[in-house]
Amino acid sequence: MGKSDVRLVVTDMDNTLYSWIDYIVPAVEAMVSATERATQWPRVKVVQALKAVYSKHESNEYPFALQESAIFEAFPDFGSFDKLVIEPARMAFAEARKKYLKPYKTVVQTLVELKKRGLPVVALTDAPRNPAEQRAKRMELDQHLTALYTLPGFTFPATPEGEKLVAPDIQQKEARGEYRAACPVIELPRDAEKPNPKGFLQICRTYGVEAQQVVYVGDSLKKDVGMAQAVGAIDCWAEYGTYVSLEYRERLDIISAAAITRRHASSVFESGEKPQKPTHALSNFGQVLDVIDGTR
């Protein structure tokens, strides 16, 4: 295969462009600690209250978990709850995210090189639009991606009377488009979650390419590699994104429901098994260039 044969790169995001686990564990733990301090609730009650909401929305990054949780039911005046509970918890989460959410080494320079070559790079993630778009924007990956395909995003929660349970400044920023990424963001239907190839095939149609002309990169052997092989794409296993310490797995189990971990870090459940044998196993994202050049 020569580089002229490849016309598009499609990549997973979580644990392929960055470590989702290395960021989400300390970020949610920081949020829990801040909520503990603000409410004087025991840590286990805070964790279980948040986990119930996360499970309902199938995301540890559901941004309105506190106001939909049993914690808010105990302190139901939104104005004071927002200032005394949500705001410090949100700041704690944001500080941890800023510290721990970083692209893997070689990711940015590889995206820059692919752009120089005129090869579009599209991200295809099973994460909901809001957190996926925010991650791309905060790490400035949106400056290098041609487009981002996600699962459906979240809407603002509201009371039965229609009052939005979100701080006014957040509503205003949303209205001004301050949370939007620089690249186009396309929401896929919920049933497009991988290994369903629906999203991948839609991308191929949009860019006028055959699956055989696409290099696909992802960390899950079942959801990413298996899907790519099923449609005939050039599959690359992001093996570097599958290494998770036992400590982090145990900490993740406390804050995350199994269904959520399967969506964002399904390779955690694949430890010790290889449902699909990858054509190319990568030790860093930059090796995508070797695959394209036919030297790997």
Q: Is residue 221 part of a domain?
A: yes
Alpha-carbon span 202 to 57, nearest angstrom = 25
3-class DSSP state of 95: helix
Using pLDDT thresholds of 50, 70 and 90, give the confidence band for residue 271: low
CATH label of the domain that carries residue 130: 3.40.50.1000
Flag whether 68 is in a domain.
no
Report if residue 61 sits inside a domain. no
Give the span between the Cα atoms of 15 and 108, in whole angstroms. Answer: 14
Total number of domains in the chain: 1
pTM of the model: 0.92
Q: Do the domain assignments include residue 47? A: no
Q: What is the rounded CA–CA span in Å between residue 165 and residue 287?
A: 45
124-164 tens-digit pLDDT: 999 999 999 999 999 999 999 999 999 999 999 988 888 89
* Residue 198, phi then psi, degrees to nearest 5: -55, -50
* Strand partners of residue 158: 164
* pLDDT tens, position by position, 195-221: 999 999 999 999 999 999 999 999 999
pLDDT band at 1 (very low <50, low <70, confident <90, very high): very low
Residues 6+ apart with CB under 8 A from 114: 9, 121, 144, 288, 289
Q: What is the pLDDT of residues 24-69, one digit of tens each?
A: 999 999 999 999 999 999 999 999 999 999 999 888 889 999 999 9
Q: Are strands 214-218 and 234-238 parallel, antiparallel or unpaired?
A: parallel
Give the mean pLDDT of the chain. 93
Which residues constitute the domain of residue 140?
A: 3-19+102-293
Question: Does some domain include residue 31?
Answer: no
Report yes or no on 272 lying in a domain.
Answer: yes
Q: Which pLDDT band holds residue 3 (cuts at 50, 70, 90)?
A: very low
pLDDT tens-digit series, residues 185-194: 999 999 999 9
pLDDT for the residue numbered 100: 97
- What's the average model confidence in pLDDT over 104-128? 97
53 inside domain: no
Burial 109-145 (b: 16+ CB within 10 A, else e): ebbebbeeeebbbbbbbbbbbbbbbbbbbebebbebb
The answer to whether position 13 is within a domain reads yes
